[in-house]
Amino acid sequence: MSKLYDLLIIGAGPGGLAAGIYGSRAKLSTAVLDKNAEPGGQASTTDEMENYPGFYNGTTGPGIMKEFADHAKSFGTEFLRGTVDEVDFTGPVKKVHTQQGDTYESKVVVLSPGATPRKINVKGEAELRGKGVSYCATCDADFFVDLDVVVVGNGDAAIEEAMYLTKFAETVTIIVIHEEGNLDCNKASAEKAMKNPKLKWVWNSTVEEIAGDELVEKVVLKNINTGELTDLETNGVFVFIGTEPHTDFLKGKVELDDRGYLVANDMMETNVPGVYAVGDARVKYLRQVVTAAADGAIAASAAEKYLSELETLQNDVLDVSNKKPVILAFWAPQVEESIDSIAAVDKIVEEKNGAVELVKLDTYRAKKTATQYKVTEIPTIVLFKDGKDVARIEGAKNITSDAVEDLLKESVEV
């Protein structure tokens, strides 16, 4: 615990690495903590990648993730190794402990633990992953133009992805464990899928094996009623039976949805101040390298502003070594009446010859502090004494010279 980081990122997938790039470039002391020796997360398992902007000739998952990591290192991001098993986000300094016995401290934590597709765990699945076995239609559909593929799963995501695959593949055969006509997806999707001529169905069945020499060539199906095994030739297998976020160590620490995904707003903020969530483990619409990278950029940018607010508040307002009273003035250049009000406050403070200090905050740029002190009207002035807020005046009509003078007379000796 010899070092206190500004920004500690848990997970070295594209979201975490992008946060590292943006954090380090903003001159924040930044580290990425990951359990794997090589960075990249789920993306590093993709042999071919053709949909990342700018790489129209294609690239590889490991290749582009190495570029992400090298980019972060070039700005000074540190890379740490360890598997996180416990976190403490209760105080202003966040603590992260690993199974290896290390504890790291940081002012801000970005959570990028990732998620993995649920697997069917049959023979050949692992060996042929990226060689015909896929878990992402958006990523890999265009590798199967005019070929035959199989989809495993029948929920909303599986049927939606199967419909998408029909734009590329010659045929898409959906393997369904249920009786004919019984699907787990919503009724509207089921009706639409049943009418698609490119979709074929195998009912009452599961996949027992995926086989092929270097590439997928067939699947072995088992009828759950009869136990009969049959071979079905195919060029690809797409598995859509859900994903599993790696968030067990975060239960009770930050808000998770009922499936275990991190809940965050559009600034990637969780319900815990100073803790952000990015990438596949976050509740989101599209899980891709490009969206994870965007999450990371947003989180690091938001974190930089958060830290700047904290520094201003701590050093200029809450520092108890400063015995002078402090007026914290919330204003906004977009609110014209706030400009005149704060100017009046500024004049009074000048007349006190240094007995009172004034700190002005643009409310739109310092939303965290405004929320923390429950500022609902612009302008608002809050008087602090010995690091504590003791009085306030809200609204331009109320922030008059006389009102400010009365506030100071009643609250402090000047």
> Catalytic residue numbers?
136, 139-140
Q: How far apart are CA 118 and CA 207, in angstroms?
A: 14
- Supply φ then ψ for residue 14, to 5 degrees: -60, -35
CA distances (Å), origin 133, targets 45, 245, 334? 12, 20, 54
List the structure tokens of 170. Answer: 């010659």
Cis bond before residue 39 (omega within 30° of 0)? no
Q: Side chain identity at 210, as an amino acid letter?
A: I
Q: How far apart are CA 407 and CA 414, in angstroms?
A: 11
Q: By C-alpha distance, which of 294, 308, 298 is closest to 367? A: 308
| Parallel/antiparallel/unpaired status of strands 243-245 and 115-117 | antiparallel
The answer to whether the CB of 115 falls within 8 A of the CB of 243 is: yes
CB count in 10 Å sphere of residue 249: 18
Residue with tokens 């966040």: 94
Q: How far apart are CA 6 and CA 26, in angstroms?
A: 11
Q: How far apart are CA 401 and CA 69, in angstroms?
A: 56
List the structure tokens of 301. Answer: 């940018």
Q: How far apart are CA 265 and CA 142, in angstroms?
A: 33
CB count in 10 Å sphere of residue 109: 27
Q: How far apart are CA 219 and CA 233, in angstroms?
A: 6
